[in-house]
A and B are shown apart, each in its own frame.
Chain A
């Protein structure tokens, strides 16, 4: 029983990170139909830049804020320099551009920060909390709370503000959005900034547990993508649920089957979703009309 609880705790912790990655996917996908495969690099940058700033002697909260701001700016730059010039290209081409961006960011990070694995202290100490015979790190609670707070904030943003609705309108029908006065290229820029900031937040929260290095992004991107697919691309609720589910499936596979198969679990889920439930749990049915 306490064994199961332990697996659940570790599943919820990684699941929260995947949920944050999936929420990042959701925002850009909502504004543009593009799946941004550089999302994992935003997560990596969040951890790496926080580590770097903290290693220069800055207090941790300040280092974290800098990491989020710098990553958001990189997201904006990525949109302006790579996505916007290719406007009008098919979505598939844009997705391939994001893969290129991911490789580029990874290479750049390796040049600047090196290949070493880094970490920084947990926010509230390393003393594990005991709950029902299992233990959970205080940092895990930070990660889980981060995912929940971001989800609620996004939900309010998309449903309660005109700007949030403008983002949804842009995704839904770009021409109509322009005709009601929505600056769709600004909406795209904003989406990349938000997505990058959320990714960086995830990376920064997770780094004390998972450690960080220039090449951790791909793993986060693929697991987060699996979560977003499982939940239904484009739905914040789906991203949150899907992210946590992938984390739990992974932890239970590692615990009860073999930790060697833990990474395979996410991909089995992707395949099953694509075969049997392409809309995911909360995705809208696509209603293309001619």
Chain B
């Protein structure tokens, strides 16, 4: 299958410190690739460069065959890239349903004038978006909270709301930053299934996650970062046996001894 996302020699420095340095990997359609590494390894920074939040200092991001390095986030979204955040980017004072509906903005938006005049076609599109958003909320188990103000939800629920909103974009590439953080075991398993389902539909998934059991269970391929550099990659079995990875996670002394 073709590469939907390919990251080539990506790097960025903040005040002389190389937060990410020369990282390359690719994600094919239907594949789940996880990026792991100790805290501060540069995982979220990598995500921010891929999704257009940070401008990369070096390297390229290729989305579905097109060089999209440094492209504005809304244009990336229009090309099929969607993401969630480790520390959540939710529309706090809007309802859960309204949050999910914004994800439909791209698919269902029509002529500006139609919306300004409130034409029937515009109302119809808004209703389609509402119905789609409700279906997605049901899929992540938030249908009963649809009318609540998002700011009042628990962290775990907000995580799932963010996933629903990201899915509403109907993405080709989905970046998930710690989707299971703050979720209990049952919720984590539900998110597992959801991710597998989305991948099975042909979406390329790039995942950052601290829950190693989950990572080992669902990943096709794992990329390991430490101090901003890629120190290993491979399938879950190979990565978990890799001495450099063990050293990075446990500290150098343990690995030596």
Answer whether residue B82 sits at the interface, using C-beta atoms and an 8 A cutoff.
yes
Q: Are A164 and B91 in contact (CB under 8 A)?
A: no
B residues 120-138 near A (Cβ < 8 Å) are: 122-123, 125-126, 129
User: How many whole Å from A23's CB to the nearest CB in chain B?
Assistant: 15
- Interface residues, chain A, CB within 8 Å of chain B? 153, 156-157, 160-166, 168-169, 172-173, 175-184, 190, 194, 284, 287, 289
Q: Which of A161, A172, A190, A284 is close to B122, meaning CB atoms less than 8 Å apart?
A: A161
Q: Are B82 and A179 in contact (CB under 8 A)?
A: yes
Answer whether residue B252 sits at the interface, using C-beta atoms and an 8 A cutoff.
no
User: How many whole Å from B257's CB to the nearest CB in chain A?
Assistant: 41
Q: Are A163 and B109 in contact (CB under 8 A)?
A: yes
Q: A162 and B129 in contact (CB under 8 A), knowing A173-B90, A175-B53, A175-B73? A: yes
A-B contact pairs, 28 of them (CB 8 A): A160-B122, A161-B115, A161-B123, A161-B126, A162-B101, A162-B104, A162-B129, A165-B105, A166-B105, A166-B109, A169-B91, A169-B98, A169-B102, A172-B91, A172-B93, A173-B89, A175-B53, A176-B89, A176-B90, A180-B82, A180-B102, A180-B103, A180-B169, A181-B105, A190-B112, A284-B93, A287-B92, A289-B92
User: How many whole Å from B76's CB to the nearest CB in chain A?
Assistant: 8
Give the docked Cα–Cα distance between A105 and B109 (Å).
35
B-chain residues with CB within 8 Å of residue A179 when the two chains form the complex: 51, 73-74, 77, 82-83, 89
Q: Are A181 and B94 in contact (CB under 8 A)?
A: no
Closest residue of B by beta carbon distance from A286? B93
Answer whether residue B106 sits at the interface, using C-beta atoms and an 8 A cutoff.
yes
Q: Are A169 and B94 in contact (CB under 8 A)?
A: yes
B-chain residues with CB within 8 Å of residue A166 when the two chains form the complex: 102, 105, 109
A-chain residues with CB within 8 Å of residue B74 when the two chains form the complex: 177-179, 181-184
Give the docked Cα–Cα distance between A194 and B112 (Å).
12
Q: Are B73 and A178 in contact (CB under 8 A)?
A: yes
Give the docked Cα–Cα distance between A104 and B165 (Å).
43
Give the docked Cα–Cα distance between A40 and B38 (Å).
55
B-chain residues with CB within 8 Å of residue A289 when the two chains form the complex: 92, 151
Q: A162-B104, A175-B53, A289-B151 known; 19 other A-B pairs, CB under 8 Å?
A: A156-B118, A157-B116, A162-B108, A163-B109, A163-B115, A169-B98, A169-B102, A176-B89, A176-B90, A177-B91, A177-B102, A178-B72, A179-B51, A179-B77, A180-B77, A180-B106, A284-B93, A287-B92, A289-B92
B-chain residues with CB within 8 Å of residue A194 when the two chains form the complex: 116
Closest residue of B by beta carbon distance from A234? B93
